[in-house]
C-alpha cells in the first residue's frame, strides 16, 4: 500500500535544509458547490468523486513556518500555543514528519485564521493549504501549485482546493498513489457572485468530517449512488458557470448539499449536523425564493449555512438575514505580505 511518505518522495526526492529562515503564506477557505464526501483511500485522502469549490476571498488562514532551535515543534494558533496532546497538534506534526529534511529539524508554525476553527467552515482546508504554501516558500520547492495541491490533500482532503481563489475543481484521479488527484483553478470569473455566511454555532463540531464521511461510506444504503449524483451535479455546475445561469448554479449546489446530508441522515448511527436555527434558515431561504429572490444555500459538515446570491440582491439579503457575513469571492483578495503583517 502506498504511504504518504511514498508520495512526498515521488514529488520531492530530496528535501534539503532551507536557506531562508521562514516561509509565509495565506490560503483562503473554500466552500464546495459539488461536495467531497467519501474517500476511496483513507491514508492518502483520495476521494470517491471529483468536487468543485469557490474560495472565500480574504477569509482563511495566514501561516508562517520557521526552523526552530528546540526539542519539539511548536504550533501557535490565533496567538495560543496548541497543547501537544491535542488531535490538532498531532495532525500537523504528523504532516511535518513527512517533510523534515533531517530527523532533528524542528518547526515553529504560527497560524492566524479569521474564520471559526472546526465548525464546518473549511478551517482545516485553509489551514493545511496555508501550511503547505508556507513550507513551499520556506524550502523554495520547485513545485507547481497542482503538485502542492497533492501535498495539501494529504493533510486534509479539501485543502487541495484552497490553493487558489475563485472556482476550483479537484479531479478525482485514478492512480493508486493519487498523483493525479489534485485541484486546479477554473477559468470561470463571476464578479457578481456572493457568498453569505450564516453562522449558527461557532463551536467545534462533535464529529470530524473525516469520521462522518467514513461512517456514511460504510453504512448509508444510498452511498453507492453518490458518485453518479456528484458526476451529474458537476456537469450541471459547469454548464451553469459557463452560461452564468445563477438559478441553475444555486439549484444544483443546494440539491448536492442536501443529498450529502441525506446520505448522513441514512447512515448508522445517523448524523445530523443541522440544529434548530439551521432548519429555520433553510425555511427562510425557501420562502424568499418562493417570492422570487434568487437565493440558495449550501451546507457542509456543520450547522452553518452558506448562502449563494448575486450582488444586486445584497441589500435584500441583509434585510432578510441581518446576521449574514457577506463574501465577494472575486474581489479584494489579500496578498500574503499584507495579511501576515502581524504574525
- Name the residues that contact a second copy, by CB under 8 A: 220-222, 224-225, 228-229, 232, 251, 254-255, 258-259, 261-263, 265-266, 268-270, 272, 274-276, 279-280, 282, 286
The nearest distance, CB 258 to a second copy, in angstroms, is 5
The nearer residue to a second copy, 24 or 301, going by C-beta atoms, is 301
Cis peptide before 269 (omega within 30 of 0): yes
C-alpha distances in angstroms, 139 versus 142, 163, 192, 256, 322? 9, 17, 38, 39, 45
Q: What b/e sequence results for 117-155 when a residue is b if at least 16 CB atoms lie within 10 Å of its CB, and e otherwise?
A: bbbbbbbbbbbbbbbbbbbbbbbebebebbbbbbbbbbb
The nearest distance, CB 22 to a second copy, in angstroms, is 46
The nearer residue to a second copy, 280 or 323, going by C-beta atoms, is 280
Which three three-digit cell numbers place residue 269? 448511527
CA angle 42, 29, 162 (to 5 degrees): 60
The nearest distance, CB 30 to a second copy, in angstroms, is 23
The nearer residue to a second copy, 71 or 290, going by C-beta atoms, is 290
CA atoms 173, 176, 179, 183: torsion sign: positive
The nearer residue to a second copy, 27 or 271, going by C-beta atoms, is 271
The nearer residue to a second copy, 139 or 297, going by C-beta atoms, is 297
Separation between Cα atoms, residue 90 and residue 93, nearest integer Å: 5
Residue appearing with cell numbers 456543520: 302
Separation between Cα atoms, residue 203 and residue 200, nearest integer Å: 9
Compute φ and ψ for 73, nearest 5 degrees.
-60, 145
The nearer residue to a second copy, 41 or 219, going by C-beta atoms, is 219
The nearest distance, CB 50 to a second copy, in angstroms, is 16
Of 54, 73, 115, 127, nearest to 304 by C-alpha is: 115
Beta carbons of 142 and 159 less than 8 angstroms apart: no
The nearest distance, CB 297 to a second copy, in angstroms, is 10
DSSP bridge partners of 74? 108
Residue appearing with cell numbers 483562503: 28
The nearest distance, CB 272 to a second copy, in angstroms, is 7
The nearest distance, CB 311 to a second copy, in angstroms, is 26
The nearer residue to a second copy, 170 or 296, going by C-beta atoms, is 296
The nearer residue to a second copy, 174 or 283, going by C-beta atoms, is 283
Separation between Cα atoms, residue 241 and residue 186, nearest integer Å: 10
Amino acid at each position: 500500500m502506498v504511504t504518504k511518505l511514498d508520495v512526498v518522495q515521488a514529488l520531492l526526492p530530496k528535501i534539503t535544509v532551507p536557506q531562508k529562515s521562514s516561509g509565509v503564506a495565506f490560503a483562503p477557505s473554500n466552500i464546495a458547490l459539488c461536495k467531497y464526501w467519501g474517500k476511496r483511500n483513507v491514508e492518502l485522502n483520495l476521494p470517491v468523486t471529483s468536487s468543485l469549490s469557490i474560495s472565500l476571498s480574504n477569509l482563511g488562514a495566514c501561516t508562517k513556518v520557521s526552523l526552530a532551535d528546540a526539542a519539539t515543534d511548536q504550533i501557535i494558533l490565533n496567538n495560543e500555543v496548541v497543547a501537544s496532546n491535542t488531535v490538532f497538534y498531532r495532525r500537523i506534526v504528523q504532516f511535518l514528519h513527512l517533510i523534515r529534511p533531517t530527523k532533528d529539524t524542528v518547526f515553529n508554525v504560527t497560524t492566524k485564521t479569521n474564520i471559526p476553527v472546526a465548525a464546518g467552515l473549511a478551517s482545516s482546508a485553509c489551514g493545511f493549504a496555508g501550511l503547505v504554501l508556507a513550507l513551499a516558500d520556506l524550502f523554495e520547492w520547485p513545485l507547481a501549485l497542482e503538485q502542492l495541491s497533492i501535498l495539501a490533500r494529504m493533510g486534509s482532503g479539501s485543502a487541495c482546493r484552497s490553493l487558489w481563489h475563485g472556482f476550483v475543481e479537484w479531479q478525482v484521479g485514478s492512480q493508486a498513489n493519487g498523483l493525479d488527484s489534485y485541484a486546479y483553478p477554473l477559468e470561470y470569473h463571476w464578479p457578481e457572485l456572493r457568498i453569505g455566511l450564516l453562522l449558527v454555532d461557532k463551536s467545534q463540531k462533535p464529529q470530524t468530517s473525516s469520521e462522518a464521511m467514513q461512517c456514511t461510506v460504510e453504512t448509508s444504503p444510498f452511498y453507492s449512488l453518490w458518485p453518479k449524483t456528484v458526476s451529474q451535479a458537476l456537469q450541471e455546475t459547469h454548464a451553469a458557470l459557463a452560461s452564468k445561469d445563477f438559478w441553475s448554479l444555486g439549484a444544483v449546489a443546494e440539491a448536492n448539499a442536501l443529498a450529502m446530508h441525506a446520505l448522513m441522515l441514512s447512515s448508522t448511527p445517523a448524523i445530523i449536523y443541522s440544529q434548530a436555527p439551521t432548519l429555520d434558515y433553510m425555511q427562510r431561504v425557501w420562502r424568499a425564493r418562493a417570492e422570487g429572490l434568487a437565493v440558495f444555500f449550501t451546507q457542509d459538515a456543520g450547522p452553518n449555512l452558506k448562502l449563494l446570491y448575486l450582488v444586486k440582491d445584497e441589500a435584500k439579503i441583509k434585510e432578510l438575514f441581518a446576521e449574514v457575513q457577506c463574501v465577494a469571492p472575486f474581489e479584494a483578495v489579500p496578498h500574503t505580505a499584507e495579511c501576515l503583517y502581524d504574525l
